[in-house]
Amino acid sequence: MAEKTVVLYPSLGVGHLNPMAQLAKALLRRGGVSVTIAVVDPPEKDAVLAAALARLAAASPAITVRLLPIPPSSRAPSKAYSHPIMPILDALRAASPALREFLRSHAPAVDALVVDMFCTDALDVAAELAIPAYIFYPSAAGDLAVYLQVPDLRRAAPSSLKDMGKAPLEFAGVPPVRAHDMPDTMQDWESDVCQVRLQQLARMPEATGILVNSFEWLESRALKALREGHCLPGHSTPKIYCVGPLVDGGRTEENGERHACLGWLDRQPKQSVVFLCFGSMGAFSAAQLKETARGLERSGHRFLWTVRSSRRERSNSLEPDLEALLPDGFLERTKDRGFVLKNWAPQTEVLRHEAVAAFVTHCGWNSALEAIMSGVPMICWPLYAEQRLNKVHMVEEMKVGVVVEGYDEELVMADEVEIKVRLVMESEEEKKLRERMATAKEMAADAIKKGGSSDVELGEFLRGLGNIST
């Protein structure tokens, strides 16, 4: 069979590029396919994205990366965006001509275009060029199940979600979701960001198929609801391919040296450390950092904590001032059992370290999958985007974590931090959670090994490319 050509088209942001890069690697491992990642290249350079692309090129030379330059925004500088995601959606829309030109000139002809969930404008480009278009969904299957039902919810709901508070919403395939746990982009039906997201969600059924970064054992109920059409009653559901977990394999520093925190972990007893890390955008006020510090100190447990302060707290420095942000004397009092990092930690390597016993996380899906593959129980502290929704699945459906009460209030108090750390480190609940995570780790490994459920589904996706008439 002739080699197939697949083009992957991620959204802006490392959190979307990384799982798509892992998809590229998984496709290449199967053989018989060439893969190009087409990345939108905005005029305002993103140093984090550039560094991620450089790492990808160095680690995976078989993956071709093509930058798609877009013109500067024509939006008036004085007109502020209503939501942080809006400039990203504008940039993706502006990239359609460059994507069209790239696909048209690509030789050999492209057998499939796989686009990120935010890149639905690319469906028009694919249709124009008669290229089968698939959506890559980098988050939970439970999220996808909910999102496909949102347009119908919009038609049925008497008011915007922001006015419904903690009222439970019923969706096929997932536990009830409180209205205020839905993403902020969907809280106000009349907002411009919600209007755009509703249009995108309504277009997802146009795809030939949807590849989901999850695995059968973890989300069997949501996947069953998707495949049986319960999330799109009266409409045809695209074929669902469950191909995860697709996560980064970990790396050392660019100079090849091991991060200092890993050396510190080497000196800690097995399963004794609580790891706190909140993603590339998770930042806290000084008041919240102090409450968290007090809770950690009172718990008596060892901890590795990545601290990122809000921009307001940083003044002119990119790095947080730990002495100013944390309680007086905290660093000195906890120096024998705590390690505090500024802004960044090698998360994958930390989670895989035998000293780590629990993970306080913002519930980003990449982070959740990394913890599951490492068998580390989670304390769920969602912050933004779809993280509250992920928390519902992780705590109530998957049972791989416990929730921090107060995540939806102004402050999570020190007492709550202490309670949840103790719960996951020293209670009867801890034993059940650790057993569940050990099983989840085993099932995740089984899913992606040769002949596993996700490996089989990825093979079905590739075989399907030869059967599609363009």
Looking at per-residue pLDDT, the higher value among 436 and 73 belongs to 436
H/E/C letters for each residue in the chain?
CCCEEEEEECCCCHHHHHHHHHHHHHHHHHCCEEEEEEEEECCCCCHHHHHHHHHHHHHCCCCEEEEEECCCCCCCCCCCCCCCHHHHHHHHHHCHHHHHHHHHHCCCCCCEEEEECCCCCHHHHHHHCCCCEEEEECCCHHHHHHHHHHHHHHHHCCCCHHHCCCCEECCCCCCCEEHHHCCHHHCCCCCHHHHHHHHHHHHHHHCCEEEECCCCCCCHHHHHHHHCCCCCCCCCCCEEEECCCCCCCCCCCCCCCCCHHHHHHHCCCCCCEEEEECCCCCCECHHHHHHHHHHHHHHCCEEEEEECECHHHHCCCCCCCHHHHCCCCHHHHCCCCEEEEECCCCHHHHHHCCCEEEEEECCCHHHHHHHHHHCCCEEECCCCCCHHHHHHHHHHHCCCEEECCCCCCCCCCHHHHHHHHHHHHHCHHHHHHHHHHHHHHHHHHHHHCCCCHHHHHHHHHHHHHCCCCC
Q: What is the pLDDT of residue 470?
A: 31
- Using one digit for the tens of pLDDT, what is the confidence trace for 101-111? 999 999 889 99
Q: If pLDDT is split at 50, 70 and 90, which confidence band does 266 have?
A: very high
Q: What is the pLDDT of residue 443?
A: 98
- Using one digit for the tens of pLDDT, what is the confidence trace for 87-145? 999 999 999 999 999 999 998 899 999 999 999 999 999 999 999 999 999 999 999 99
Q: If pLDDT is split at 50, 70 and 90, which confidence band does 80 have?
A: confident
Averaged pLDDT of the chain: 93
> What is the C-alpha radius of gyration for the chain, rounded to an integer number of angstroms?
22
Q: What is the pLDDT of residue 55?
A: 86
> Does 259 have pLDDT greater than 60?
yes
Q: What is the pLDDT of residue 431?
A: 92
The answer to whether 357 touches 274, Cβ cutoff 8 Å, is yes
Q: If pLDDT is split at 50, 70 and 90, which confidence band does 469 have?
A: very low
Percent of the chain with pLDDT over 70: 95
Q: If pLDDT is split at 50, 70 and 90, which confidence band does 429 have?
A: confident
Q: What is the pLDDT of residue 120?
A: 97
Q: What is the pLDDT of residue 59?
A: 83
Q: If pLDDT is split at 50, 70 and 90, which confidence band does 311 have?
A: low
Of 12-16, 125-129, 208-212, 291-295, the least confident: 12-16
Average pLDDT over every residue of 266-275: 98
Q: What is the pLDDT of residue 58?
A: 86
Average pLDDT over every residue of 322-339: 96
> Does 468 have pLDDT greater than 70?
no
